[in-house]
């Protein structure tokens, strides 16, 4: 129900809310095919051995719900199919109002309320959606792979900012050393600019309705861990790096800060959805069907800015 945002889902989420806030949320992101699902699966196994319950959410922004990549995820995740301590869900994105991050955040809430100790959220790519989803996490693992420098380029595009831990996966392949060095170089660069004031401060982000976290935490140096997920090599080291970040966050009060950043984003998203819904209902009741209004705007018979102002004014009365 929550996934499809069907009738009654909002009521459910309201009732679940007081049961949430106990899970540790780990985001696993990186380019397509980097081994995110394999790593997620191995981490899940690792946590299960420690008797922790695990929730896994795999977000696929490109394929439809029954698409190939998700099917692939399902197959790799079959290791856990018979383990009642693991709950797995694949989410497609179906462009509902509120978008990818809204529905994913809601499903994370449900797993949290279920009492999962650890929730792993796998997202592909480097777009804004993925960054928002990664913001659901307390610790973000960015998966890089050796090969074309393009991978590191892609990571540069923005994911670097959100990485708390790097996994250089497929370390069995040629070029892993080079990838590690490239990442180290980028981190050094980041350190040297960290002293400068952040370009997008919190107020600026908020004014744009931007859901992003605050600037990267300058007191944390993201470790780089080599993994061969396919052979379960480096899993314990990766889990240790995640745990070190968790300890760091808790010592800094950072977990609360991330929760607050996420809460702000979630609240603004829900608010926006509700307000837009209300406004559209009002529009259709008093000004005409949305399509007809759009026609008039397209024909330059109506001015969208004036209309929106007018509608907003009516909502306030």
Ligand X SMILES: Nc1nc2c(ncn2[C@@H]2O[C@H](COP(=O)(O)OP(=O)(O)OP(=O)(O)O)[C@@H](O)[C@H]2O)c(=O)[nH]1
| Cβ contact 5:125 at 8 Å | no
Rule CB under 6 A: is residue 225 a binding residue for ligand X? no
Segment interacting with ligand X, rule: CB under 6 A, options 33-41, 210-218, 264-272, 308-316 = 33-41
Segment interacting with ligand X, rule: CB under 6 A, options 3-11, 32-40, 152-160, 194-202 = 32-40
Segment interacting with ligand X, rule: CB under 6 A, options 7-15, 36-44, 45-53, 273-281 = 36-44
15: enclosing H helix or E strand = helix 9-16
What is the nearest approach in angstroms of ligand X to the Cβ of residue 204? 32
Segment interacting with Mg ion, rule: CB under 5 A, options 32-40, 137-145, 205-213, 300-308 = 32-40
Rule CB under 6 A: is residue 288 a binding residue for ligand X? no
Rule CB under 6 A: is residue 224 a binding residue for ligand X? no
What is the nearest approach in angstroms of ligand X to the Cβ of residue 120? 12
Rule CB under 6 A: is residue 172 a binding residue for ligand X? yes
Rule CB under 6 A: is residue 36 a binding residue for ligand X? yes
Token pair 């609240």 in the structure block, residue: 267
Among 54, 228, 242, 266, binds ligand X (CB under 6 A): 228
What is the nearest approach in angstroms of ligand X to the Cβ of residue 32? 4
Among 37, 103, 104, 235, binds Mg ion (CB under 5 A): 37
Backbone angles phi, psi at 142, to 5 degrees: -100, 125
Using CB under 5 A as the binding rule, the residues of this chain from 66 to 125 that contact Mg ion are 73
Partner that binds at residue 169, options ligand X, Mg ion, none, CB closer than 5 to 8 Å by kind: ligand X
Q: What is the per-residue burial (b if ≥16 Cβ within 10 Å, else e) of 192-228?
A: eeeeeeeeeeeeebeeeeebbbebbbeeeebbbbbbb
Q: What is the per-residue burial (b if ≥16 Cβ within 10 Å, else e) of 113-129?
A: beebebbbbbbbbbeeb
Q: Cβ contacts of residue 234 below 8 Å, gap of 6+?
A: 167, 171, 225, 226, 227, 228
Phi-psi region of 213 (alpha: psi -120 to 50; beta: other; left: phi over 0): beta
Q: Which residues bind Mg ion (CB under 5 A)?
A: 36-37, 73
């Amino acid at each position: 129900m929550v996934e499809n945002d069907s009738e009654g889902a909002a009521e459910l989420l309201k009732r679940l809310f007081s049961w949430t806030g106990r899970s540790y949320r780990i985001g696993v992101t990186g380019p397509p095919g980097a081994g995110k699902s394999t790593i997620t699966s191995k981490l899940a196994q690792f946590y299960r051995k420690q008797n922790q319950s695990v929730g896994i959410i795999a977000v696929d922004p490109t394929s439809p719900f029954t698409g190939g990549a998700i099917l692939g995820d399902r197959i790799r995740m079959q290791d856990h199919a018979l383990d009642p301590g693991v709950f797995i869900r694949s989410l497609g994105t179906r462009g509902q109002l509120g978008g990818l991050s809204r529905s994913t955040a809601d499903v994370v809430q449900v797993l949290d309320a279920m009492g999962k100790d650890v929730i792993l959220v796998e997202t592909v790519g480097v777009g804004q959606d993925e960054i928002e989803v990664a913001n659901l996490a307390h610790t973000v693992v960015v998966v890089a792979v050796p090969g074309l420098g393009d991978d590191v380029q892609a990571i540069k595009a923005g994911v670097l900012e959100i990485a708390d831990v790097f996994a250089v996966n497929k370390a069995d392949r040629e070029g892993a050393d080079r990838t590690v060095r490239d990442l180290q170089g980028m981190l050094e660069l980041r350190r040297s600019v960290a002293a400068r004031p952040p370009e997008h401060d919190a107020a600026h982000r908020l004014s744009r309705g931007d859901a992003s976290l605050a600037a990267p935490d300058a007191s944390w140096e993201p470790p780089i861990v080599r993994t061969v997920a396919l052979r379960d090599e480096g899993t314990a080291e990766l889990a240790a790096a995640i745990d070190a970040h968790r300890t760091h966050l808790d010592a800094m009060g950072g977990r609360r800060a991330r929760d607050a950043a996420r809460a702000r984003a979630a609240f603004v998203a829900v608010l926006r959805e509700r307000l837009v819904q209300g406004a559209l209902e009002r529009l259709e009741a008093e000004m005409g069907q949305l399509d007809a209004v759009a026609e008039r705007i397209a024909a330059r018979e109506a001015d969208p800015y004036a209309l929106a102002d007018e509608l907003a004014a009516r909502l306030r009365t």
